Amino acid sequence: MSRRLLTRRRLLAGAAAAAPATLAGCDRLGASAAFQDNFLSLGEWLNYRVHRLLIGDALAREYRPEDVSPVFRTNGNTEPTDKTYVAHEKSGFAAWRLTVDGLVARPSAFTLDELRAMPARSQITRHDCVEGWSCVGQWTGVPLGQVLDRAGLLPQARFIVFHCADSVFGTDYYESIDLADAFHPQTILAYGMNGAPLPRAHGAPVRLRVERQLGYKHAKFVMRVEAVATLSGIGRGRGGFWEDLSRYEWYAGI
């Protein structure tokens, strides 16, 4: 055999080019919306179902007061400039109301004092940002389940949507969770942080804490809680601001 098709040199060159070529191919595939929807959503689909089976009602770890991070990092809006919000903040949220509507028997509006008068829960938990960092903080608020019970959730309701006062790129922020998370004991509408009223940078007057998911699910500056049967009518139908804008996972438990 004097003329071999597969020489050592050719093999080396091929092998060295294989990895970058594979990545370049993946890069092109991954940019296609159809591929994102049909293939790259497999992980999320599996994670959501397996987590629901595996985790059940398990509680997120709660930490000791000495574990609280000295400076809790912020992300997203820290100073909403929207007119209604600025006016509410100036008046100490005196005229602010939390609207609860959608698929509920008794659409309601709660003042901040009414929320504070309901049975409260305090928890010291770890906040994991999708970017990778974590901070520990203490949160005080009313369990979302209680608020939903007051309004009387209708049997058709399957998701709870949070409409927020702050806008990002001109769109008001919104998020949504399923009923398993909505009625989880650690899922609270927090009005207090580290023993003080919830600071503006962290979503005053009320933010969502949904402790078994990543930070972007924890909607800040919540104005309205809406019960829906499907997420298709919310934004572009993926259930949240970042989900619709950049295809972040709706289920952010990992």
Shortest separation between residue 44's beta carbon and another protein, angstroms: 7
Cβ closest to another protein, residue 32 vs residue 84:
32
Cβ closest to another protein, residue 73 vs residue 121:
73
Shortest separation between residue 90's beta carbon and another protein, angstroms: 30
Cβ closest to another protein, residue 50 vs residue 86:
50
Cβ closest to another protein, residue 129 vs residue 201:
129
Shortest separation between residue 131's beta carbon and another protein, angstroms: 4
Q: Contact at 8 Å (CB) between 63 and 123? A: no
Cβ closest to another protein, residue 23 vs residue 154:
23
Side by side, the strands of the sheet bearing 98-102 are 108-110, 98-102, 222-228, 159-168, 171-178
Q: Helices (H), strands (E): how many in the chain?
A: 8, 10
Q: Contact at 8 Å (CB) between 191 and 210? A: no
Q: Which residue has the tokens 């089976």?
A: 53
Shortest separation between residue 237's beta carbon and another protein, angstroms: 16
Considering only CA atoms, give the Rg of the chain. 23
| Residues that bind another protein in the complex, under the rule CB under 8 A | 6, 8, 11-12, 15, 19-20, 22-24, 26-27, 30-31, 36, 39-44, 46-47, 51, 54-56, 58-61, 63, 67, 69, 71, 73, 126, 128-136, 211-214, 242, 246-249, 253-254
Q: Contact at 8 Å (CB) between 137 and 72? A: yes
Separation of alpha carbons 140 and 129, rounded Å: 20
Shortest separation between residue 28's beta carbon and another protein, angstroms: 9
Closest CA to 78 of 5, 173, 151: 173
Shortest separation between residue 132's beta carbon and another protein, angstroms: 4
CA separation, residue 136 to residues 76, 127, 187, 206, 247 (Å): 18, 6, 16, 18, 27
Cβ closest to another protein, residue 35 vs residue 101:
35
